[in-house]
Amino acid sequence: MSLLSRVRVTRRGVQIALGAVWLLDGLLQFQHFMYTHTFVTSVLEPNAQGQPGVIGSPIGTFAHFYGHNLTLWNTLAAETQCLIGLGLIAGRRFARPALLLGFAWALIVWWFGEGFGMILSGAPVSPLMGAPGAVIMYAFIGLLVWPRQAEGGRSAADGGLLGDRGGVILWSLLWLEAAVVWMLHVNRSSGAIHDQIAGMAQDSPHWLASALTSIAHRTQGHGVAVATILAIVSVLIALGALAPTPVRVTALGLGIVLSLAYWVIGQSLGGPFWATGATDVNAGPLFVLLALTLMPGLTAARRAVPLTAPTRATDRAVAAV
């Protein structure tokens, strides 16, 4: 029996995993750095740079307001994320309130804390660095595992708000967006990939920084080729997920491998334990969790018995007559 055939991914399991990530984010928000004005000037305010006015101005206003009482607002932010995480972990009865709060909080953080992934800012942001942003992935996964129907189906997303088909379409749109972002000029210059990886190496521990520096050196001058190849692979991952089951499994598996590569090389493993300003694990693990949620054949068979199905007791009664 293959290892894959032994794996079981349930909607409840994904809820718990998502809750664990929310809880980790909340704990990271309690770091001392988050209670300093450097957090405002180096994390929040830069999100407004290069943005359209309708996006950047509210971010600047929010950063100014947040900085007036860092102790209060940062503590509330950390507690909110911990509450979401604990609610998802605690049990099914708390899942819906936790997910609802998570949807609202994810949108707030995606705008004011991540600047919508900085995609509209002109900054050198790519899927390698975590685009379109980690926190919006929390909302997407939450939609897939919303407890609307009984467990079971083709994947863990079956029975959620979007269903299995809606989840696959979402996955495809995310990877098509990745392909488009790779084709932007800011990511297709000869040194773009090198600069992104080298930048992450600066804040990484020595053992990881050495590897990233070596990889960055090998990509120097090859930014156009690397970006083009990754764009093509992204399209294949997007379209493959829409294909029949064997191709879909391959596409999702390739998406997992590439997301983990991005997480290590471009996101420095999220950097929560060594990057002073890290408040989450970045997008890599969320793409993996999304892929597992959509992977067909990993869920247990639906156990709910239809109301119209005869029971054994009824069968015996009919036989006796």
What is the tens place of the pLDDT at every residue in 154-177?
899 998 999 999 999 999 999 999
- pLDDT tens digits along 236-266: 999 999 999 999 999 999 999 999 999 999 8
Share of the chain above pLDDT 70, in %: 88
The SS3 call for residue 17 is helix
Overall size of the chain counted in residues: 321
Q: What is the pLDDT of residue 269?
A: 86
Contacts of 316 (CB under 8 A, 6+ apart): none
**Is residue 52 packed enough to be buried (19+ CB in 10 Å), middle (13-18) or exposed (0-12)?**
exposed
**How large is the C-alpha radius of gyration of the chain?**
22
Structure tokens at 184: 């932007």
Q: How far apart are CA 71 and CA 206, in angstroms?
A: 33
- pLDDT tens digits along 46-88: 999 999 999 999 999 999 999 999 999 999 999 999 999 999 9
Q: What is the pLDDT of residue 307?
A: 36
Listed residue (48, 181, 191) closest to 121, CA to CA: 48
Listed residue (69, 100, 88, 67) closest to 25, CA to CA: 88
| Residues 168 and 237: beta-carbon distance below 8 Å | no
What one-letter code names the amino acid at 23?
Answer: L
Structure tokens at 3: 């290892």
CA atoms within 13 A on the CB side of 66: 24
Listed residue (318, 284, 292, 300) closest to 137, CA to CA: 284
| Residues 280 and 134: beta-carbon distance below 8 Å | yes
Q: What is the pLDDT of residue 277?
A: 67
